[in-house]
Each structure stands twice: as C-alpha cells, then as structure tokens.
C-alpha cells in the first residue's frame, strides 16, 4: 500500500521541491552546514572560475548521488568510504578531462581545485547523510539543490570580489564604462587577496542569520 502511494507521488511534490529550496536557503551547505568551504573560497577571485566550479560540483554531486543511491543496498558498511571515494574520483576525472579539453584556460586557473572536489566535504556529506538512505530521484534532487546552494554563495562572493577588486564582471569592464575611474575611483586590490573571501563569507553568514534568527546557534 505504502509502496503504491509512493509511486503515485508526483515527481515534483511539495516534499521533493523542499529538498531543493531548503538546500538553497535555510539548510545551505556553505553557510549553515559549513561544508565544502575548502574549494569554495579559493576560486572566487573571478566570476568565471566560480561558475565553472559550481557547474562541476553540480555534475559530480547530481550524478554521484544517483549512483550511490542505486548502490546503497550493495555497499558493505565497513568499506563504504572507499567505495564513495572511488565513485567521486571517477566522476571528477571526467570533469577534469572535459575541462582540459574544452576550457583549458579556466582549468589552469582552477589548478588543483578541480581535483579537490574529491575531498569536498559537501559531496561526502550528502552521500553519507542522504543518498545512502534514499531513493535515486530524491537523491538527485538533493544533489542538485545542494550544489545550487553552493554555487549561489560562490557566485555572490565572486561577483563582489571581481566587481570591486578588478572593476569587471565576467571580464567586461563595468567601472570604466560608467566612468567611475574618471572621478578618481581606484580598484580595491584587497578584494582579490585570499583573506577577503573569508571575510565576505563571514558577512554573508551574518546577513543570513540576521534575517533567520532561528539559525543562530551557540
């Protein structure tokens, strides 16, 4: 009986939609679950690598979640971490080879951080917390939702860092076009330096938690 009702549950039922909207908002992987910060901050000096990175994570997490979810009943508990790592590593090699073939410049900018998607805690975290215990379709949605939440933060940080640090957006020179340099504006070099990524994340967390007081812990 319960099996039948589950089958009739539509693909985008309220419960399934929640998997995506929660991961973007109040269960965001970066600002709330504090996962996957390692690679998130390092690629946000410019908008383009940040977008490429988000798409790569979307691919690895979406497919990986489905694969793990299909395998979930055959993976022995004791060696599950190694099985998960092998699945992730195989997907990441695919991403890396595709980037090297079609976007070599961006792949050079991302350097080791493509490889580091393997140890990106978001992916291991979602495998452990969700797809080891759920069916393929919800796992896929969960993967997509979490990587969108991850990508959203990346894009916000990268947007501000590129805009104020280099005065450009995706390489297009904004500040020169609207003539800010003529009235004496100077690019803020501090924004391109690594520490500003951390401070920007801190500020995003601050803003999000002021709007959602229930997220405040400690």
Partner 1 sequence: MQELLNIFVKSIFIDNMVFAYFLGMCSYIAVSKTVKTSVGLGLAVIFVLGITVPIGYLMNEFLLKPGALVWLDSEFIDVDLSFLSFIMFIAVIASMVQLVEMIVEKFSPALYASLGIFLPLIAVNCAILGGSLFMQEREYQSLAQATSFALGSGLGWFLAIVGIAAIREKIKYSNVPGPLKGIGITFIITGLMGIAFMSFLGIKL
| Site residues (vs partner 1, CB under 8 A) | 34-42, 81-82, 85-86, 89-90, 92-93, 96-97, 111-112, 115-116, 118-121, 124, 193-199, 201-203, 205-210, 213, 216-218
Complex with partner 1: residue 23 or 45, whichever CB lies closer: 45
**Other residues' Cβ atoms within 10 Å of the Cβ of residue 83:** 16
Query: Smallest distance, Å, CB 87 to partner 1?
Result: 11
Complex with partner 1: residue 141 or 162, whichever CB lies closer: 162
Query: Smallest distance, Å, CB 33 to partner 1?
Result: 10
Which of 44, 91, 47 shows the shortest CA–CA distance to 65?
A: 91
Q: How far, in Å, are 89, 108, 124, 166, 200 from residue 45 at the CA level? A: 26, 14, 25, 9, 11
Distance CA 180, CA 170 (A): 18
The HSE-up count of residue 180 (CA atoms within 13 Å, CB side) is 13
Query: Smallest distance, Å, CB 121 to partner 1?
Result: 4
Complex with partner 1: residue 94 or 174, whichever CB lies closer: 94
Query: Smallest distance, Å, CB 203 to partner 1?
Result: 8
Q: What is the b/e burial string over 156-167, where b = at least 16 CB atoms within 10 angstroms of the residue's CB?
A: ebbebbbbbbbb
Query: Smallest distance, Å, CB 112 to partner 1?
Result: 4
Complex with partner 1: residue 80 or 136, whichever CB lies closer: 80
Complex with partner 1: residue 125 or 136, whichever CB lies closer: 125
Query: Smallest distance, Å, CB 132 to partner 1?
Result: 15
Distance CA 55, CA 174 (A): 25
Which of 103, 98, 113 shows the shortest CA–CA distance to 38?
A: 113
Complex with partner 1: residue 184 or 213, whichever CB lies closer: 213
């Amino acid at each position: 009986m319960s099996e039948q009702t589950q089958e009739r549950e539509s693909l985008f039922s309220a419960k399934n939609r929640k998997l995506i909207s929660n991961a973007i908002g109040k269960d965001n992987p970066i600002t709330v679950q504090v996962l996957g910060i390692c690679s998130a901050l390092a690629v946000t000096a410019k908008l383009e690598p940040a977008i490429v990175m988000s798409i790569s994570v979307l691919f690895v997490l979406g497919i990986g979640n489905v694969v793990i979810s299909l395998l979930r009943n055959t993976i022995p508990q004791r060696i599950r971490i190694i099985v998960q790592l092998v699945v992730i590593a195989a997907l990441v090699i695919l991403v890396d080879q595709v980037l090297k073939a079609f976007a070599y410049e961006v792949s050079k900018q991302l350097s080791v951080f493509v490889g580091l998607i393997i140890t990106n805690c978001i992916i291991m975290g979602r495998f452990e917390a969700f797809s080891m215990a759920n069916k393929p379709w919800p796992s896929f949605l969960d993967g997509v939702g979490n990587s969108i939440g991850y990508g959203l933060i990346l894009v916000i940080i990268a947007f501000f860092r590129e805009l104020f640090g280099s005065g450009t957006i995706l390489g297009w020179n904004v500040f020169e076009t609207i003539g800010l340099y003529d009235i004496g504006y100077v690019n803020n070099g501090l924004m391109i330096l690594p520490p500003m990524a951390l401070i920007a994340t801190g500020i995003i967390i601050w803003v999000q938690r002021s709007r959602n007081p229930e997220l405040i812990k400690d």
